[in-house]
Chain A
Amino acid sequence: KAGVTQTPRYLIKTRGQQVTLSCSPISGHRSVSWYQQTPGQGLQFLFEYFSETQRNKGNFPGRFSGRQFSNSRSEMNVSTLELGDSALYLCASSRPEARETQYFGPGTRLLVL
């Protein structure tokens, strides 16, 4: 069974631009969560989607948004990029009956210049 896939793997943007990251969950997994990982703050929860609905949200500004499609694929968008948004963005998927057991993708490394 294929794991969680994320595209692109690496991205360079400049301040003020926006970016869209994509995540395809493991087949049969319908919950998708997004996390931001930085050296200073560690792994922090962004949001969780299930059945195309945001079910949970972390403490990030409104510039961070996401969505989920009917095939459970998810995208997250960051608008008006800031230098501090440079991070590894990780997506994790889980089965509906086991939301606590989350499997991570390889991440998208975003660098904001």
Chain B
Amino acid sequence: GQQLNQSPQSMFIQEGEDVSMNCTSSSIFNTWLWYKQDPGEGPVLLIALYKAGELTSNGRLTAQFGITRKDSFLNISASIPSDVGIYFCAGLSPGGTSYGKLTFGQGTILTVHP
């Protein structure tokens, strides 16, 4: 089945630093989504990417949909303590019987030291 490889698995950074994480897949996706999950809560949608090559920002967050449609990255600039959490990438397959099903990466655990 499809798999998403998300890296790094965890990051320990100082407040104010920039963060970068990425996801790669052996299969192509039509849509890439980035979510953040706090302990005991459901994932919150941060950014959605719909076209290959698309670069989208949401405040201090920037994400890009890779040209090959097999990868995506998320950057967080000037990190703050509330950025702490687990970040997930998710991809939506092109179509057919799997359409509507999201495949998730393993997550990146982000810790920000004040």
Task: Point out residues on A near B: beta carbons under 8 Å.
Answer: 4, 6, 31, 33, 35, 42-45, 48, 50, 55-56, 58-59, 90, 92, 94, 99-107, 109
Contacts and interface: CB of A to CB of B under 8 A. Distances in A.
A105 B42 contact: yes
Nearest to B6: A42
B100 A48 contact: yes
Contact of B41 (A45, A56, A107): A107
Given A102-B33, A104-B35, 7 more contacts: A33-B102, A43-B104, A45-B102, A48-B100, A101-B31, A107-B41, A107-B42
Interface residues of B, number: 27
Contacts of A105: 42
B31 to A, nearest CB: 4
Nearest to B106: A42
A58 B101 contact: yes
A100 B33 contact: yes
